[in-house]
Amino acid sequence: VSWPTVGWETGVLPPEHADEIQELLDIAMVGNRGDLGGETHAVVIVHKGRLVAEVYRDGFGAGTRHMSWSLAKSVTSALVGRAVQLGLVENIDAPMPGVFPEDDPRAAITWRQWITMTDGLEYLEFESDILEANDVAQMMYGAGRFDVVGYIRDSFPLKYAPGTRWNYSTASFSLVGRALQNVIGVDTWCSTASSEAASEGASAQTPCSPADAPMAAWIDEVLFRPLGMDAQPEFDLSGTYLGGSHVWATARDYAKLGLLYLRDGVWDGERLLPEGWVDMTRTPPPGGPANFYGAGFWLLPGEGDAFYAQGHEGQTIFIVPSRDLIVVRLALMEENDANWEADLQWNLALARAFP
């Protein structure tokens, strides 16, 4: 099977289960946002390296980029793996540099603790539906929206010893985004465009697009381009890559990220992620939850070897190594336990229909 860097090779559904799979796809596509499981915008299924099913809601298509929400955490975890493979990060058990002053106790928190959300910060992502009391809402869309890292420094002190408690955190991956910029020598996302504008006599405050961002170029060079992804990361106004929540990509491209993990970090003969990285990603860390989260991916210990990326409002990349399977579903659904359980059961039912 050819690698899908340029385009996906197509295949067929397993004949003995084709009707069952089609029924599950039909069920997904008729739901609306307020229904159980929400409104599906795109489904892509890759089996044994081939694209075997692809459906879109009206108004969406193969070229439509979808907001990742927290699928970005899985992208950012992969970027840390790329930095390790390239020698930019020598040890993920070393303190993550440059995001806190040296005398700040948070400066000792390691890369591993940040990407496994065992950092110990006093931060609450889900505990309030009230905007003013919701840490992630204030960080991303309230007082912190212009400088996410600065807001984290000022707002979320250390509460627990790092590595001893797990706490779901978009803040942690935002800090990882900035730390990656530090280790590759990228300052602000407008630096290239601003310097060019200044050399031409224009104001150094000349606006620039995210496409001009040195960090965006690095992400494209080391991850998106090797996979053939046409994806776009977002940045806050201070220049920080929003590594916990903001990447835009097509359903087919999210499936390519899934295939990278399905193939143990190797792409078309080249190792992009360090040997053992994928296993680390899907292994609960010391001090983390007993069995349901690794490093940027959710785990399903009661369902064989399946693991998955998950984002707000129903975005999932479901990976099942034993079935050589990837299921991408991009959706719009209300955030509640019943909807997420319905989404999980739909993915599991699909997975069981493949040999």
| pLDDT tens string 259-311 | 999 999 999 999 999 999 999 999 999 887 778 999 999 999 888 999 999 99
pLDDT at 302: 86
pLDDT at 172: 99
Choose among 318, 300, 320: nearest CA to 308. 318
Q: What is the mean pLDDT of the chain?
A: 92
Specify the length of the chain in residues: 355
State the pairing for strand pair 270-271/247-249.
unpaired
Tokens representing 54?
């692809």
The answer to whether residue 3 scores a pLDDT higher than 50 is yes
Q: Which residue has the higher pLDDT, 131 or 46?
A: 46
| pLDDT tens string 309-354 | 999 999 999 999 999 999 999 999 999 999 999 999 999 999 999 9
> Averaged over 209-226, what is the pLDDT?
83
- Please determine whether the domains at 1-67+246-355 and 70-244 fall in the same fold group of CATH: yes
| pLDDT tens string 175-194 | 999 999 999 986 544 444 33
The answer to whether residue 213 scores a pLDDT higher than 90 is no
CATH number of the 1-67+246-355 domain: 3.40.710.10
pLDDT at 126: 84
State the pairing for strand pair 325-332/315-320.
antiparallel
> Averaged over 1-10, what is the pLDDT?
98
pLDDT at 329: 99
Dump the DSSP string for 115-157.
HTT-S-B---SSS-SSGGG-HHHHHHHSTTTT-HHHHHHHH--
Cα gap 230→228, rounded to integer Å: 7
Domains in the chain: boundaries: 1-67+246-355, 70-244
| pLDDT tens string 223-255 | 999 999 999 999 999 989 999 999 999 999 999
Q: Per-residue confidence at 198, pLDDT binned at 50, 70, 90?
A: very low
Residue 228 Cα distances to 71, 222, 339, angstroms: 18, 11, 32
Residue 33: CB atoms within 10 Å: 13
What percent of the chain clears pLDDT 70, i.e. is strictly above it?
Answer: 91
pLDDT at 131: 64
* DSSP character at residue 180: H
pLDDT at 214: 87
pLDDT at 155: 97
pLDDT at 205: 36
Residue 155: CB atoms within 10 Å: 16
The answer to whether residue 197 scores a pLDDT higher than 90 is no
pLDDT at 346: 98
Global pTM value: 0.93
pLDDT at 187: 56
The answer to whether residue 202 scores a pLDDT higher than 50 is no
Superfamily of domain 70-244 in the CATH hierarchy = DD-peptidase/beta-lactamase superfamily (3.40.710.10)
